[in-house]
Structure 1
Amino acid sequence: MPVHVLIAINVSKWFLKAVNKIRRSYLWKGRKEANGGCCLVAWDKVQRPLDLGGLGIPDLQVMGWALQIRWLWLRKTDTNKPWIGFDIPVHPNAVAMFEIAMQSLVGNGNNTFFWKDR
């Protein structure tokens, strides 16, 4: 459920901390709450991909940015969708990553913004 929320809104740090606390507790104890010495590995290491020694549990903040970048991509490339006109708030980091990664060809100029696109 938090994944769908991450697409539509910029969640605050306290929300991410609360969800991560529940995820950590479930992983280490199988309950909603776990205290101190139950955690065997640092949460940053647990969130690493499998090939880097982690458990592959996604970082919700980074995943939210990735989903928002996807939203920006669809808004830019597929303008026929009925939800294109929705004003979804996008985190500034997601906008910066999108602008760095995006490259436009001028073509007929319909989908290229002269002052914003590379």
Structure 2
Amino acid sequence: MNKIRKGYLWKGRKEVNGGCCLVAWDKVQQPLDLGGLGIPDLQVMGWALQIRWLWLRKTDSNKPWFGLDIPVHANAVAMFEIAMQSVVGNGNNSFFWKDRWFNGSSVADIAPLVVAAVPNQIRNSRLVLEALTDLSWTQNIQGGLSLVGLYELFQLADIISELVLTETDDTHVWRLDASG
């Protein structure tokens, strides 16, 4: 796709041969105020749309496509996980092992060795409410833990013991925007 865009920009044709580009494509894609032409990078724009879709899937269950498992690029998922923070109310819409639900941190930030011992399927589906019910999160851990892993486990247990769920719904905040 970029090849077609370059050809049209430089020669007005679908295809061009080497040596026709007058300026490096990275420079062309920069915003106008940085000296570029403001032509967006389609790959980055695609990731941005996927991040938007992840945000709407998390915050708006009334969308007709809610619940569909649409594949999303790993870069978009990583950016979303960095940018989104959950404020836990009843724990029904925040993932225990994956979301940043404890003071802006995820369980992986607090106890990475413990999270590594949890199967991916459980890590991607266990809600905070489910995990805290009868401390069932401890049953998700499979295999042995090292001494450091055990330390992380006890540290995580102390943090979780102080958590109290409320009857309000979970809310989600976009950390990259001052208004959330």
**1:37 counterpart (12, 16, 19):** 19
Q: Which amino acid aligns with 1:58?
A: P
Which residue does the alignment assign to 1:84?
66
Report the CA distance between 1:47 and its aligned residue. Answer: 0.7
- Aligned pairs, number: 100
Aligned to 1:21: 3
Cα drift, residue 67 of structure 1: 0.6
Identity of aligned residues (%): 89
Corresponding residue for residue 97 of structure 1:
79
Report SS of the residue matched to 1:103. Answer: strand
Q: Deviations over 1:22-62 (max 9, x none)?
A: 00000001111112222100111101111111111111111
**2:37 aligned to 55, 64, 68, which one?**
55
Q: Which amino acid aligns with 1:33?
A: E
More moved, 103-112 vs 19-28: 103-112
Check if 1:64 corresponds to 2:46.
yes
**Which one scores higher on RCO, CA 8 angstroms, separation ≥ 6?**
1
- Supply the AA of the counterpart residue of 1:105: V
Give the match's secondary structure for 1:40. Answer: coil
Q: Which has the higher helix share?
A: 1
Q: Distance in 2 between matches of 1:82 and 1:49?
A: 35
Q: Distance in 2 between matches of 1:82 and 1:21?
A: 35
Q: Which has the higher strand share?
A: 2
Structure 1 alignment gaps of length 5 or more: 1-18
Stretches (4+) displaced over 2 A? none
Give how far 1:85 is off.
Answer: 2.1
Runs of 5+ unmatched residues, structure 2 = 101-180
